[in-house]
Chain A
């Protein structure tokens, strides 16, 4: 809860993933799926766009753009010094 997640990034900001689903409360949070889609620790991600109410978000990873709901994006933790790109 205390660490930053992809959902906290502004549009255009990038960060490196530190962990996926570490403090997810729900065991079925589809974190495995997120990882299979390419959100693995060490990857750089960028927030490309946000829908109204910031949900879902469009995130670029590994050469593609993937739309995720806010709840899912919150499972993807990042290092706290997100940089504007």
Chain B
């Protein structure tokens, strides 16, 4: 359990802080997309992800009130809920946490964020929470947006009607936060939680009448508290005019934009084009930056090799192994950064929820749901948060199916692998083809996911009713600061995670290729061999008798030969189980050590040169042909190589069934499809 949480944390963007038991607890509750996480970040100084779509938060997060508020208290952020009656796992988490948190028990105070632009809806939850007996404070958010309609909320009046404190806040500017904490403090000091807990009860399933009645109340309240921010206008005029027109109208701009983005025809075209642009541009935008990182690492490597004594085992290990290995993975940081920025932009504009709506119908054909779209898309960054994001899908079967196919989405750890292999396939004079190739791989991973889902849903039917009810948030101009911050944290995770793994694997691989025959005896029959040639013979003899070669030749080679790969590829593939991107650094080591490579080349080129020079085991043919390289790509598209993904799938589905299926089915598919690809291409005469 602790292990699993740890594994997830390294993919989280914020920092988790433990709340100790003695401290009071403030819980943040609210409807989806009402600004809870934005408030949480401002209160605790955390950096959890906020996004302009409902369902951004799917897990409880905890933090401590920042020092500047001068009050010791824990704060809990939670997934958005519509009512106290959950309809999906993320809502269950929020509600269970509110009534019965495993570690903190009941919160001393509940702060409900309420989006003031849709106050009659948002008060529904507020009223339910108050009626359950919690000490509640309302934090009114989005007042700036309501102000643009020429309206505002009379918070004193609202406080009077509901009998609880109401504070207008703007978490981004920091206004109202101090007041909010002051109100919380008052309540915490005034009421004893043990005393409160006897009055708190979970409401039963509401009836239709109860809901209608509750809404009657919220509407009445809305009429009382919504005022024109131009004070001259009399209340009567507002009631007559404004109420019938403005107050229940969603954001005007969003309605206009939706005419376009949700157009039955153009909407689809825009959807396809925008997805296409995003996934093909990653390669092109990143190229200059990648060259920069590449040359930085190459000069580091050559500087270090000048400094170290030449021709010793450790200089080779450090330059060829560790620096080049690490560098060859860091080269892809620009691409990953750009992927995160583009996805972040898409999230923050509010378009994602629309895309989910447009694609709902096609996805149902494969047994999925429109709500599967956002998890699938985030699967292109990393499968772990993506699997967790599937919590917003209320139908259990559709949720499991979504989780099942997420590992097929082309995650960012595969990017270095694809980029290397595509660079091998595409002539260097036409790099733009690689961009298209990458776009095609992204598309293909989507298609394969859909096909797998389609096949499974043909075999397994469910009676559980499928629903799709999704709030479409107003379009907003993305806040670049947020996106950059988010991207920074996520990329830092990539670098931090890759660093130690790559160094450890590099050392291990080097040791396996160096021992046990450290100084092999060779016969130099004739005297006209140069020292360099002798060195090469020694090196290759050492390698051929090494542990890696022995294991590789007996274990990997028989299995991999039908796919056109040798034991060195096998060793790299096994290393990729630590993390997919390690494949690239493992290739750098196994092939740079075993093949003549020119250190003056830049990183990627030096691996490519080694790959081009590599010969198959019998030494007659090149090892990497078009066919065997494409087969490798196919293998990476399907193989289930990420152990953290397995752990999260186990945790999220509550059983081993799905993760075991993923391991068995995807590994088998990867092998078979790579086999078919390699031999099929060979039959067609493509080598």
Q: For A9, what are the chain B residues with a Cβ–Cβ distance below 8 Å? A: none
Which residue of chain A lies nearest to B265 when distances are taken between CB atoms in the complex? A52
Q: For A69, what are the chain B residues with a Cβ–Cβ distance below 8 Å? A: 360, 467-469
Does B468 contact A68, Cβ atoms closer than 8 Å? Answer: yes
Give Cα A20–Cα B265 distance, bound, in whole angstroms: 30
Give Cα A61–Cα B254 distance, bound, in whole angstroms: 14
Q: A51-B361, A63-B248, A64-B250 are in contact. Are A40 and B469 (CB under 8 A)?
A: no
A residues 17-74 touching B (CB-CB < 8 Å):
20-21, 26, 28-38, 40-41, 43-44, 48-56, 58, 60-69, 72
Q: In the complex, which of the residues B117, B205, B262, B467 contacts A48, with contact meaning CB atoms closer than 8 Å?
A: B262
Q: Report the count of interface residues on B (CB-CB < 8 A).
A: 44
Give Cα A52–Cα B465 distance, bound, in whole angstroms: 22
B residues 484-539 touching A (CB-CB < 8 Å):
none
Does B361 contact A63, Cβ atoms closer than 8 Å? Answer: no
Q: For B360, what are the chain A residues with a Cβ–Cβ distance below 8 Å? A: 51, 55-56, 67, 69
Q: For B117, what are the chain A residues with a Cβ–Cβ distance below 8 Å? A: 63-64
Does A49 contact B120, Cβ atoms closer than 8 Å? Answer: no
Q: Among the interface residues B83, B208, B263, B268, which one has the most CB atoms of the partner chain A within 10 A? A: B208
Which residue of chain B lies nearest to A53 when distances are taken between CB atoms in the complex? B361
Q: Say whether B182 faces chain A, with CB atoms less than 8 Å apart.
A: no
Q: A52-B361, A67-B468, A69-B468 are in contact. Are A32 and B85 (CB under 8 A)?
A: yes
Q: For A63, what are the chain B residues with a Cβ–Cβ distance below 8 Å? A: 117-121, 247-250
Chain B nearest CB from A47 CB (Å) reads 11
Does A30 contact B259, Cβ atoms closer than 8 Å? Answer: no
Chain A nearest CB from B470 CB (Å) reads 5
Chain A nearest CB from B249 CB (Å) reads 7
Give Cα A20–Cα B209 distance, bound, in whole angstroms: 11
Q: In the complex, which of the residues A20, A51, A55, A66 contacts B208, with contact meaning CB atoms closer than 8 Å?
A: A20
Give Cα A69–Cα B250 distance, bound, in whole angstroms: 20
Q: Among the interface residues A29, A53, A64, A68, which one has the most CB atoms of the partner chain B within 10 A? A: A64
Chain A nearest CB from B124 CB (Å) reads 7
Does A64 contact B469, Cβ atoms closer than 8 Å? Answer: no
Which residue of chain B lies nearest to A19 when distances are taken between CB atoms in the complex? B208
Which residue of chain A lies nearest to B472 when distances are taken between CB atoms in the complex? A65
Does A41 contact B370, Cβ atoms closer than 8 Å? Answer: no
Which residue of chain A lies nearest to B146 when distances are taken between CB atoms in the complex? A63
Give Cα A61–Cα B85 distance, bound, in whole angstroms: 20
Q: A38-B215, A40-B215 are in contact. Are A49 and B469 (CB under 8 A)?
A: no
B residues 238-275 touching A (CB-CB < 8 Å):
247-250, 254-255, 258-259, 262-265, 267-268
Q: For A43, what are the chain B residues with a Cβ–Cβ distance below 8 Å? A: 248
Does A64 contact B471, Cβ atoms closer than 8 Å? Answer: yes
Q: Report the count of interface residues on A (CB-CB < 8 A).
A: 39
Does A67 contact B267, Cβ atoms closer than 8 Å? Answer: no
Does A36 contact B82, Cβ atoms closer than 8 Å? Answer: yes
Chain A nearest CB from B83 CB (Å) reads 5
Q: In the complex, which of the residues A26, A32, A52, A60 contacts B264, with contact meaning CB atoms closer than 8 Å?
A: A52
Does A40 contact B211, Cβ atoms closer than 8 Å? Answer: yes
Q: For B471, what are the chain A residues with a Cβ–Cβ distance below 8 Å? A: 37, 64-67
Chain B nearest CB from A34 CB (Å) reads 7
Give Cα A53–Cα B268 distance, bound, in whole angstroms: 12
Does B361 contact A28, Cβ atoms closer than 8 Å? Answer: no
B residues 344-391 touching A (CB-CB < 8 Å):
353, 356-358, 360-361, 370
Does B118 contact A35, Cβ atoms closer than 8 Å? Answer: no
Chain A nearest CB from B268 CB (Å) reads 6
Q: In the complex, which of the residues B119, B121, B212, B264 contacts A51, with contact meaning CB atoms closer than 8 Å?
A: B264
Q: A34-B469, A52-B265, A67-B470 are in contact. Are A58 and B118 (CB under 8 A)?
A: no
Does B124 contact A64, Cβ atoms closer than 8 Å? Answer: no
Q: For B262, what are the chain A residues with a Cβ–Cβ distance below 8 Å? A: 48-51, 58
Which residue of chain B lies nearest to A22 when distances are taken between CB atoms in the complex? B208
Does A36 contact B120, Cβ atoms closer than 8 Å? Answer: no
Q: A64-B250, A65-B250, A65-B472 are in contact. Are A51 and B255 (CB under 8 A)?
A: no
Q: For A60, what are the chain B residues with a Cβ–Cβ distance below 8 Å? A: 249-250, 255
Chain A nearest CB from B107 CB (Å) reads 23
Q: For A68, what are the chain B residues with a Cβ–Cβ distance below 8 Å? A: 468-469
Which residue of chain A lies nearest to B470 when distances are taken between CB atoms in the complex? A67
Q: For B121, what are the chain A residues with a Cβ–Cβ distance below 8 Å? A: 37-38, 62-64
Which residue of chain B lies nearest to A34 when distances are taken between CB atoms in the complex? B469
0 or 1 for each of B466-482: is its CB under 8 Å from A? (1 = yes): 01111110000000000
Q: For A55, what are the chain B residues with a Cβ–Cβ distance below 8 Å? A: 360-361
Give Cα A54–Cα B264 distance, bound, in whole angstroms: 8
Q: A36-B83, A51-B264 are in contact. Are A72 and B120 (CB under 8 A)?
A: no
Q: Say whether B87 faces chain A, with CB atoms less than 8 Å apart.
A: yes
Q: A30-B467, A64-B121 are in contact. Are A49 and B258 (CB under 8 A)?
A: yes
Does A29 contact B211, Cβ atoms closer than 8 Å? Answer: no
Does B208 contact A30, Cβ atoms closer than 8 Å? Answer: no
Give Cα A37–Cα B353 distance, bound, in whole angstroms: 16
Does A58 contact B258, Cβ atoms closer than 8 Å? Answer: yes
Give Cα A37–Cα B118 distance, bound, in whole angstroms: 11
Does B255 contact A41, Cβ atoms closer than 8 Å? Answer: no
Q: Say whether B206 faces chain A, with CB atoms less than 8 Å apart.
A: yes
Q: A56-B360, A56-B361 are in contact. Are A72 and B467 (CB under 8 A)?
A: yes
Q: In the complex, which of the residues A28, A49, A66 contacts B465, with contact meaning CB atoms closer than 8 Å?
A: A28
Does A32 contact B208, Cβ atoms closer than 8 Å? Answer: yes
Chain A nearest CB from B98 CB (Å) reads 17
Q: In the complex, which of the residues B85, B247, B467, B470 contacts A36, with contact meaning CB atoms closer than 8 Å?
A: B85
Q: What are the 7 tightest A-B residue pairs by CB atom distance, in nearest-first order?
A: A49-B262, A63-B118, A67-B357, A65-B472, A62-B121, A35-B211, A36-B83
A interface list, Cβ under 8 A from B: 20-21, 26, 28-38, 40-41, 43-44, 48-56, 58, 60-69, 72
Would you list 6 pairs from A and B whose C-beta atoms are within 8 A, ordered by A residue? A20-B208, A28-B465, A52-B361, A55-B361, A66-B471, A69-B469
Taking A20-B208, A35-B211 as known contacts, 13 extra A-B pairs with beta carbons closer than 8 A to each other, sorted by chain A number, are A32-B208, A33-B467, A38-B124, A49-B262, A51-B267, A52-B268, A53-B361, A56-B370, A65-B258, A66-B470, A68-B468, A68-B469, A72-B467
